[in-house]
């Protein structure tokens, strides 16, 4: 009976939050739905079984949430940060040559190639290609990657590709203030090759 009453109280509290939303409640509501309402039916189980199952389910949900957020950080943030990537203080015309150039200079790829490798990276290892062609399929990214890299090399445009762990180190160095993103136009750092610090010859930034 205690478990049943608790489950009903949880459902009632969430229902009240839905009908009387407030800024703090609106932020907490998704968390309540995920971590409270989802495992709440387990409280209907008899005796201590219900509360035990509820606690275990809540613990597993929390662990899964932490791990998924760590994976998302590792595969998304780190290929947008690093002392070898640029940040821009002015805008440019969408889909212009300058826009395309900036997509390459401000993002990095991880190791690419192979279905298993790409799956483990969530296909986020094609970040440069994704920035250039955001609507392409994952298979198209696999095909486009070597061609885009060859185009960049032919025109002297830096095309950054490193392992996810090396990108993580670069991101942490940004976070602790050891290094910073390059400002366009930038200057080479002590540990960076000078050819990645200046715009390619003939390129005009609007």
- Per-residue pLDDT reduced to its tens digit, 26-56: 566 677 777 777 788 887 888 788 888 888 8
- Name the region of 66 (left: φ>0; alpha: ψ -120 to 50; beta: rest): alpha
DSSP 87-109: E-SS---TTSHHHHHHHHHT--B
Instruction: Kindly state the percentage of the chain with pLDDT values over 70.
Output: 75
Q: What is the pLDDT of residue 15?
A: 61
Q: How far apart are CA 79 and CA 161, in angstroms?
A: 9
Distance from the Cα of residue 60 to its chain's centroid: 22
Whether this model's pTM surpasses 0.85: no
């Amino acid at each position: 009976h205690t478990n049943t009453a608790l489950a009903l109280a949880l459902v009632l509290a969430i229902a009240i939050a839905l009908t009387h939303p407030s800024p703090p409640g609106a932020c907490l509501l998704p968390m309540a739905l995920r971590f409270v309402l989802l495992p709440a039916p387990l409280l209907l189980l008899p005796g201590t079984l219900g509360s035990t199952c509820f606690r275990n389910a809540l613990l597993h949900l929390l662990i899964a949430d932490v791990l998924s957020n760590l994976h998302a950080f590792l595969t998304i943030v780190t290929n947008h940060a690093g002392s070898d990537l640029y940040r821009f203080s002015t805008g440019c015309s969408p889909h212009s040559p300058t826009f395309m150039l900036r997509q390459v200079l401000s993002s990095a790829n991880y190791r690419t190639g192979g279905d298993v490798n790409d799956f483990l990276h969530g296909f986020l290892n094609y970040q440069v290609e994704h920035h250039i062609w955001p609507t392409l399929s994952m298979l198209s990214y696999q095909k486009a990657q070597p061609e885009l890299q060859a185009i960049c090399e032919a025109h002297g445009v830096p095309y950054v590709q490193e392992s996810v762990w090396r990108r993580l180190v670069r991101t942490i160095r940004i976070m602790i203030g050891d290094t910073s993103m390059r400002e366009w136009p930038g200057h080479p750092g002590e540990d960076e090759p000078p050819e990645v610090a200046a715009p390619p010859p003939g390129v005009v930034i609007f």
